[in-house]
Chain A
Amino acid sequence: EIVMTQSPATLSVSPGERATLSCRASQSVSSNLAWYQQKPGQAPRLLIYGASTRATGIPARFSGSGSGTEFTLTISSLQSEDFAVYYCQQYNNQYTFGQGTKLEIK
């Protein structure tokens, strides 16, 4: 099983600043990597797939990068609605998710 490890577990950032979230795979997943946002009591929402392609309706302030085993989700200028938990997910070999990064207001 491919293990996905996200860091940090919690990230405190002020509104308007940039947030950088990391995701590492235990073996190469090529570009078969997605990012999701989940708010309390809600289902996850797809943000990024193919490591760097924004899903429909996702604002341009969200960007993804990386390939192989190292990936990054960047939110360029944090809005109040961006504070949530973020998960990465690989789909190169079945499907596994990272444990999540909680993005909180500083």
Chain B
Amino acid sequence: EVQLVESGGGLVQPGGSLRLSCAASGFTVSSNYMSWVRQAPGKGLEWVSVIYSGGSTYYADSVKGRFTISRHNSKNTLYLQMNSLRAEDTAVYYCARLVAAAGTKSGAFDIWGQGTMVTVSS
């Protein structure tokens, strides 16, 4: 079964750090384009970051310089290292697989995890 399971969320103080994990099963993370998408409480969806199969990474302006996306190939796991956290980073964080249109590096998100909640508060 194709599945994504996130972990690592929790309560952290402003300025603190947290690392989220996303374990995949049924497919290979390193052969796919993978993303993080977040959703603040009661709000809409916001794309955060993407890592392509070749290893290149991209970030939303709101997290650039503070967040780092990475993967561990042998563990088939995606990560999001979050530093210098702010109150506005409070959200449910989803990992998702990106299914790219032929010949492109962009597409829709076809597989989603259940999400992990990150709360930034003192």
Residues B112 and A44 in contact, CB atoms below 8 Å apart: yes
Residues B108 and A49 in contact, CB atoms below 8 Å apart: yes
The B-contacting residues of A in range 43-91, CB under 8 angstroms, are 43-46, 49-50, 55-56, 87, 89, 91
State how many angstroms separate the Cβ of A79 from the closest Cβ of chain B: 22
Report the separation of the CA atoms of residues A32 and B99 in the bound assembly, to the nearest whole angstrom: 12
State how many angstroms separate the Cβ of A95 from the closest Cβ of chain B: 4
Q: Is A28's beta carbon under 8 Å from chain B? A: no
Between A and B, how many residue pairs show CB distances below 8 Å?
57
Residues A99 and B44 in contact, CB atoms below 8 Å apart: yes
State how many angstroms separate the Cβ of B71 from the closest Cβ of chain A: 19
State how many angstroms separate the Cβ of A6 from the closest Cβ of chain B: 9
Residues B101 and A32 in contact, CB atoms below 8 Å apart: yes
Query: What is the total number of residues of chain A having a CB less than 8 Å from a CB of chain B?
Result: 24
User: In this complex, what residue of A is CB-closest to B47?
Assistant: A95
The B-contacting residues of A in range 20-59, CB under 8 angstroms, are 32, 34, 36, 42-46, 49-50, 55-56
Neighbouring A residues of B47 by C-beta, 8 Å:
94-97
Q: Is A98's beta carbon under 8 Å from chain B? A: yes
Residues A91 and B45 in contact, CB atoms below 8 Å apart: no
Mark contacts of B96-122 with chain A using CB atoms, 8 A cut-off: 1 yes-contact digit, 0 otherwise.
000101000011111011110000000
Report the separation of the CA atoms of residues A36 and B112 in the bound assembly, to the nearest whole angstrom: 11
Neighbouring A residues of B114 by C-beta, 8 Å:
42-43
Report the separation of the CA atoms of residues A34 and B106 in the bound assembly, to the nearest whole angstrom: 11
Q: Is A92's beta carbon under 8 Å from chain B? A: yes
Report the separation of the CA atoms of residues A45 and B114 in the bound assembly, to the nearest whole angstrom: 11
User: In this complex, what residue of A is CB-closest to B35?
Assistant: A95
Identify the B interface with A (CB < 8 A).
35, 44-47, 50, 58, 60-61, 94, 99, 101, 106-110, 112-115
Q: What would 11 A/B residue contacts be, using CB atoms closer than 8 Å?
A: A43-B94, A43-B112, A43-B114, A46-B110, A89-B109, A91-B108, A94-B106, A95-B47, A96-B47, A97-B44, A97-B45
The 7 closest A-B pairs by CB, nearest first: A34-B108, A95-B47, A43-B112, A49-B108, A91-B106, A97-B45, A99-B44
